[in-house]
Amino acid sequence: MNPLFEVIRDPDRCIKCRVCERQCANEVHKYDPDLDKMISDPMTCVDCQRCVCLCPTHALKIRPNENQFRENANWSHQTMDEIYKQADSGGVLLSAMGNPKDYPVYWDKILLNASQVTNPPIDPLREPMETKTFLGKKSQKITYDENGKAHYEKTPYLELDVPIMFSAMSFGSISKNAHESLARAATELGTYYNTGEGGLHEDFYKYGKNTICQVASGRFGVFKGYLDAGAAIEIKMGQGAKPGIGGHLPGMKINDEISKTRMIPKGTDAISPAPHHDIYSIEDLRQLVFSLKEATNWEKPVIVKIAAVHNVAAIASGVARSGADIIAIDGFRGGTGAAPTRIRDNVGIPIELALASVDARLRDEGIRNDVSVVVGGSCRSAADVVKAIALGADAVYIATAALLALGCHLCRSCNTGKCNWGIATQRADLVKRLNPEIGYQRLVNLVTAWDHEIKEIMGGMGINSIEALRGNRLMLRGVGLTQKELDILGIQHAGE
Amino acid sequence: MKKVYVNEDWCLACHLCEYYCAAANSGAPNMIKAFKSGKKPVPRIQVEEGSEVNFAVQCRFCDGKACVKGCIAGALSITPEGVVVCDENKCVGCYTCVLSCPFGCIVIDEEGHRIQKCDLCTKNHDGDPACVQGCPNKAIVFEER
Amino acid sequence: MLQREGATRIPSGCAISGFINRSGRRTNGSVIVNSIACMHERSNGLGGGYAGYGIYPEYKDQYALHVFYDSSEARIKAEAFLDRHFDVVNLSRIPVRKNPRITDEPLIWRYFVNPLPTKLQDSQLDERTFVAKCVIRINDQIDGAYVFSSGKNMGVFKAVGYPEDVGDFYRLEEYDGWAWTVHGRYPTNTPGWWGGAHPFSLLDYTIVHNGEISSYDANRRFIEMFGYKCNLLTDTEVITYIIDYLHRRLEMPLEDVAKVIASPFWSELESGKFSPEDTEKYRHFRNVFSSLLVTGPFSIILGFNNGLMALNDRLKLRSMVAAEKGDTVYMSSEECSIRTMCPDVDKIWSPRGGEPIIVTLDKDAGDTRSPRFTQSGAGRVATEVNHGERV
């Protein structure tokens, strides 16, 4: 096996301060007193960029190993490497974070509109520009009594100041400090973060009104107090990175706090089954939805999260008819702490197409009002958010982008538990590298910046309220897409 | 008075504060030159490492001010703002202050003839002290308490 | 080749004008023709039209269908459909006067009809829903036939041309109504299709609209869930359907309809401007009717069975002036057009964005109105006039 990366050190810049050595949990860098030199062993380098970022003299860079196998269009270097790994280990390959393969990114093939002449753009710095969003069933029942007073049915809802929420990441897959950053940021931003399937740490109950409590197939940490703590409950049926696959948090990560939060013995593997073993069909889902509603006094909206798979529209329609208030759809680029590589890279469909067909299907059936649609799975910028909303989403979930704000450099080694940025790790010395005081502020900055950009884009379109953008596909045009793709997206080609 | 404080919860023992401090007080225009021309500059902040807790230590600007009281040469003085500063021209290298500092925060310079101590970067720098600016985890803060 | 309304979306600017006599006194159509003529520069000759209320007192209990036909075949098909669903009390060509600037006219027919009781019963719908569905079906499914007016005791008259020529063409001086609205069109790209001119109407709702809404597709895709088909792809059409849905089907009062279409900004809702009860209600509207919020510039005049409502977008990105003289209320894109109709108004003001002016017939306004009369708060100008600026 060859190292994947090369560590390049500029000796003219290196002052041998040994920050790189101290900060690398993979023990790549080492100071040799005999040589009075920093030396590197690239074999364990994962290109997390921690050393590069902290080097005070910018003496380091990490780059792909230039060593090449003989060129072969069919057998790529990576494919061959993976064969060697499996021949060594006899195991399933694991990967982390979202699908990195070169599949089309439809966001990048969709362009946005702006007002010219016939309709004025609106200046967001001078006029109100509204991004407040409600999620939940929207009952249109309304009656007026003889005095003209309106009586209407109020159903549980989530109120978001920005149409962006932090997607599910469990305590266990990410650190307590990462969770605290998300919780505090969600509170300050007037939006929500999601516990993931690992329960809710007792220190974070105070952020409950900005928390979505997830119930997944392992039911870790689920009890009445947990369900009552949050603003909404999410049933996780699937995850975009690994549709049809459960989860596995190795026992070595189950420390005291995680053991207590997940309500499982310390040191035992936390295994989430692939299915919920009480949901083998749609009618079973309905029972769980209603059980959770009953348990929480019908006061909280229930989200059902599904992975974007081939017949996602029909599944979403079934979910909408199962009492769910919100459907969350996770595209195949969504992240994960660990997934079988073959699943991550080959299963599921792009969120853009899934969203377009779900939204159209729910409208065709006249039930779009019964549920809100939240999409995740690689919304990378404010432009992606605007495009998602114009395609029909009510709000988006972001997670990878949030982790990047916390310092993640997408080295995709979460599964090793040695995250040098203190995010995907439970090692105390690494966890403390993520100071929530910094982390939460960076998340707030990120979402605030996106919100500003969304408002700028909306203003350009002459729209001053996010609801007027929702499902407004005339604001979108495709470039370089086939007619079939345009039909599925429900948009016209640029120039039409 | 605004002072430098360290929160041990977030100190990673990366020692970057030492390097930023040393470079800032070296008079060199950048860190590379500070460390690559002649003797290595000595930082006025030093990280104490433990197995679980790490802590960067520098002058606490304590109430006792034993250093000032003990200085035989009149090199150490207190500015109107409350900062204890050392006049390098007056320091004779007797090390009384080094011995009397209850926190071990006064260090001997790279030449070995004079002492140096944290002066909150009042002489070399604009804004927050260099250690505060250089800390990657906000473990070191400069604030009024 | 240029595509007509329905095949493509055509944005347009415009001029609008209208007035209502609260006592139900009927005024000759020539008055409204003069009012739009003075805003000639706001139109470009690609469409004009009128809606008159109270113009068919002799057939006030029948639905008056005005239909454009591209061909006799279309007429035969549509009439066969009408015969299957309605009792046709009277039918005729709408009388017109030749005007050199109005050309390429389609066949223009008028029918006074009652729904067939058996068909109505089979449909399990109320009468108005039944008629609305039939109209939508003709327009959607019979090629070359287009019903452009379908209310009781009211009618829409529209064509391609300048609005004053359209008024002359339809001989509007021969009709008397207690309320009139008019529209002069300035589309940016149309081959000029008669059906695409305004007002747009469904049952007795008519809309004249000046603006180009940026929320169009959000509104369209939402309202189409409720059985509407936006065939024309115009703003006016979708706004009409929204009002029909909220006002006729959900039976919301127009004051609340206006708060859905041009909802208060969050900053207003949080300012304590409204009572706690209203604040809660408007918050609820912004939640459940979020997709019916119309943004982008618009000024509209809605005609309905016993009144008119004028409404601006919340930022007031289009001009709109209102005035009162005795028991008549005027509303128009420009003051000059009001002064043409009534030089010495009692008061004149510029309504604020998002604040509707709703004027309904007085309760004792005689038998000029249509039989169905559910509007509460009749006989008052339902807006805080003082909020408007004097102009």
Q: Which candidate from A119, A136, A144 shows the least CB-CB separation from C253?
A: A144
Domain holding A21: CATH number? 3.30.70.20
Question: Model confidence over C295-306: pLDDT tens digits?
Answer: 988 999 999 999
Contact A28, A47 (CB under 8 A): no
Which residues in chain C have Cβ-Cβ distances shorter than 8 Å to A389? none
pLDDT (tens place) for every residue of chain B, 145 residues total: 899 999 999 999 999 999 999 999 998 999 999 999 888 899 999 999 988 899 999 999 999 899 999 999 999 999 998 999 999 899 999 999 999 999 999 999 988 889 999 999 988 877 899 999 999 999 999 999 8
Phi, psi of C315 (to 5 degrees): -95, -5
Q: Is residue A112 part of a domain?
A: no
Predicted pLDDT of residue C376? 38
Q: Is residue A143 part of a domain?
A: yes
Rounded Cα distance, A473 and C180, in Å: 36
Any chain C CB within 8 A of the CB of A130? yes
Q: Is residue A276 part of a domain?
A: yes
Q: How many CB pairs under 8 A join A and B?
A: 52
- Asked if A154 and A10 sit in the same domain, the reply is no
Which residues in chain B have Cβ-Cβ distances shorter than 8 Å to A21? none
Percentage of residues of chain A with pLDDT beyond 90: 95
Q: Choose the mutation target among C225, C287, C316 for the interface with A, i.e. most A CBs under 10 Å.
A: C287
Which residues in chain B have Cβ-Cβ distances shorter than 8 Å to A53? 136
Subunits close to A (at least 3 CB pairs below 8 A): B, C
- In this model, does residue C288 exceed pLDDT 50? yes
Q: Which candidate from B14, B52, B138 shows the least CB-CB separation from A19?
A: B14
Any chain C CB within 8 A of the CB of A152? yes
Number of domains composing chain A: 2
Q: In this complex, do A465 and C295 lie within 8 Å of one another by their Cβ atoms? A: yes
Question: Model confidence over A9-64: pLDDT tens digits?
Answer: 999 999 999 999 999 999 999 999 999 999 999 999 999 999 999 999 999 999 99
Q: Is residue A173 part of a domain?
A: yes
Domain chopping of chain B, boundaries: 2-58+118-144
Helix (H) or strand (E) run with residue C360 in it = strand C357-360
- What CATH number has the domain spanning B2-58+118-144? 3.30.70.20
Q: In this complex, do A144 and C252 lie within 8 Å of one another by their Cβ atoms? A: yes
Which residues in chain A have Cβ-Cβ distances shorter than 8 Å to C263? 465
Predicted pLDDT of residue C378? 36
- Asked if A60 and A188 sit in the same domain, the reply is no
Q: In this complex, do C295 and A463 lie within 8 Å of one another by their Cβ atoms? A: yes
Taking residues A268-290, report their average pLDDT.
93
Question: Model confidence over A123-146: pLDDT tens digits?
Answer: 999 999 999 999 999 999 999 999
Count of residues for chain C?
391
Taking residues C324-337, report their average pLDDT.
94
Shortest Cα distance from B78 to chain A (angstroms)? 32
Contact C327, C361 (CB under 8 A): no
Contact C151, C240 (CB under 8 A): no
Q: In this complex, do A435 and B14 lie within 8 Å of one another by their Cβ atoms? A: no
- Asked if A262 and A389 sit in the same domain, the reply is yes
Question: Model confidence over C8-35: pLDDT tens digits?
Answer: 666 556 889 999 999 999 999 999 999 9
Among the candidates A34, A63, A91, a domain finishes at A91
- In this model, does residue C191 exceed pLDDT 80? no
Rounded Cα distance, A28 and C312, in Å: 67
Q: Which of the two residues, C331 and C366, has the higher pLDDT score?
A: C331
Rounded Cα distance, C377 and A393, in Å: 39
* Three-state DSSP state, A339: strand
Which residues in chain A have Cβ-Cβ distances shorter than 8 Å to C12? 118
Q: Choose the mutation target among A162, A363, A465, A466 for the interface with C, i.e. most C CBs under 10 Å.
A: A465
What is the residue-wise DSSP string for C22-81? Answer: TT---EETHHHHHHHHTTGGG--SS-EEEEEES--GGGTTSEEEEEEESSHHHHHHHHHH
Distance of CA C140 to the CA centre of its chain: 20
Subunits close to C (at least 3 CB pairs below 8 A): A
Residue linked to tokens 């009409």? C240
Closest CA to C338 of C24, C32, C55, C48: C32
Q: Which candidate from B12, B32, B137 shows the least CB-CB separation from A13?
A: B32
Q: How many CB pairs under 8 A join A and C?
A: 120
* Three-state DSSP state, A184: helix
**Domain C12-390 grouped into CATH 3.60.20.10:** yes
Class of residue B28 by CB neighbours under 10 A (exposed 0-12, middle 13-18, buried 19+): middle
Predicted pLDDT of residue C177? 95
Sign of CA dihedral C43, C49, C53, C56: positive
- Shortest CA distance from C12: residue in chain A: A118
| Count of C-beta atoms within a 10 Å radius of residue A251 | 15
The amino acid that residue A306 corresponds to is I
- Measure Cα distances from B125 to A207, B23, B121 in Å: 40, 11, 6
Rounded Cα distance, A146 and A143, in Å: 10
**What residues of chain A have any CB closer than 8 angstroms to a CB in chain B?**
12-13, 15-19, 22-23, 53-54, 56-57, 428-429, 432-433, 435, 437-438
Contact A423, A176 (CB under 8 A): no
* pLDDT band for position C41 (cuts 50, 70, 90): confident
Q: Is residue A286 part of a domain?
A: yes
Residue-range definition of the domain harbouring residue A290: 133-493
Interaxial angle between packed helices A436-461 and A176-189, expressed in degrees from 0 to 180 and rounded to the nearest 10: 40
Contact B64, B18 (CB under 8 A): no
Domain chopping of chain C, boundaries: 12-390
- Asked if A153 and A246 sit in the same domain, the reply is yes
- In this model, does residue C381 exceed pLDDT 60? no
Rounded Cα distance, C222 and A471, in Å: 8
Taking residues A113-131, report their average pLDDT.
91
Shortest Cα distance from C185 to chain A (angstroms)? 13
Distance of CA A116 to the CA centre of its chain: 35
Catalytic residue from among C14, C38, C230, C342: C14
- Asked if A76 and A208 sit in the same domain, the reply is no
Predicted pLDDT of residue C232? 79
Please confirm, yes or no, whether C336 is among the known catalytic residues: no
- In this model, does residue C7 exceed pLDDT 70? no
Predicted pLDDT of residue C231? 80
| Count of C-beta atoms within a 10 Å radius of residue A202 | 12
- In this model, does residue C389 exceed pLDDT 60? no
Question: Model confidence over A369-412: pLDDT tens digits?
Answer: 999 999 999 999 999 999 999 999 999 999 999 999 999 999 99
- Asked if A150 and A72 sit in the same domain, the reply is no
Shortest Cα distance from A239 to chain C (angstroms)? 28
- The tokens describing B30, both together, are 């950048």
Q: In this complex, do C212 and A119 lie within 8 Å of one another by their Cβ atoms? A: yes
Q: In this complex, do A118 and C12 lie within 8 Å of one another by their Cβ atoms? A: yes
Look up residue A465 and give its DSSP letter: B
Rounded Cα distance, A474 and A461, in Å: 11
Q: In this complex, do C281 and A152 lie within 8 Å of one another by their Cβ atoms? A: yes
- The tokens describing A242, both together, are 């690994």
Q: Choose the mutation target among A145, A466, A474 for the interface with C, i.e. most C CBs under 10 Å.
A: A474
- Measure Cα distances from A249 to A236, A333, C328 in Å: 16, 21, 76
Rounded Cα distance, C103 and C160, in Å: 8
Shortest Cα distance from A282 to chain B (angstroms)? 48
Any chain A CB within 8 A of the CB of C211? yes
Q: In this complex, do A56 and B134 lie within 8 Å of one another by their Cβ atoms? A: yes
Alpha helices in A339-467 (DSSP H): 341-346, 351-364, 382-391, 400-405, 428-431, 436-461
Shortest Cα distance from A476 to chain B (angstroms)? 42
- Asked if A85 and A142 sit in the same domain, the reply is no
* pLDDT band for position C79 (cuts 50, 70, 90): very high
Does A64 sit behind a cis peptide bond, omega within 30 degrees of 0 on the bond before it? no
Q: In this complex, do C225 and A368 lie within 8 Å of one another by their Cβ atoms? A: yes
Rounded Cα distance, C95 and A377, in Å: 62
Q: Predicted ipTM?
A: 0.92
Any chain A CB within 8 A of the CB of B50? no
Subunits close to B (at least 3 CB pairs below 8 A): A
Which residues in chain A have Cβ-Cβ distances shorter than 8 Å to C288? 138-140, 152, 369
Shortest Cα distance from B17 to chain A (angstroms)? 10
Which residues in chain C have Cβ-Cβ distances shorter than 8 Å to A154? 284
Any chain A CB within 8 A of the CB of B16? yes
Q: In this complex, do C295 and A472 lie within 8 Å of one another by their Cβ atoms? A: no
Rg (CA), chain C: 20
Any chain A CB within 8 A of the CB of C226? yes
Residue linked to tokens 């400090």? A177
Residue linked to tokens 């692939």? A274
Interaxial angle between packed helices A312-320 and A282-295, expressed in degrees from 0 to 180 and rounded to the nearest 10: 40
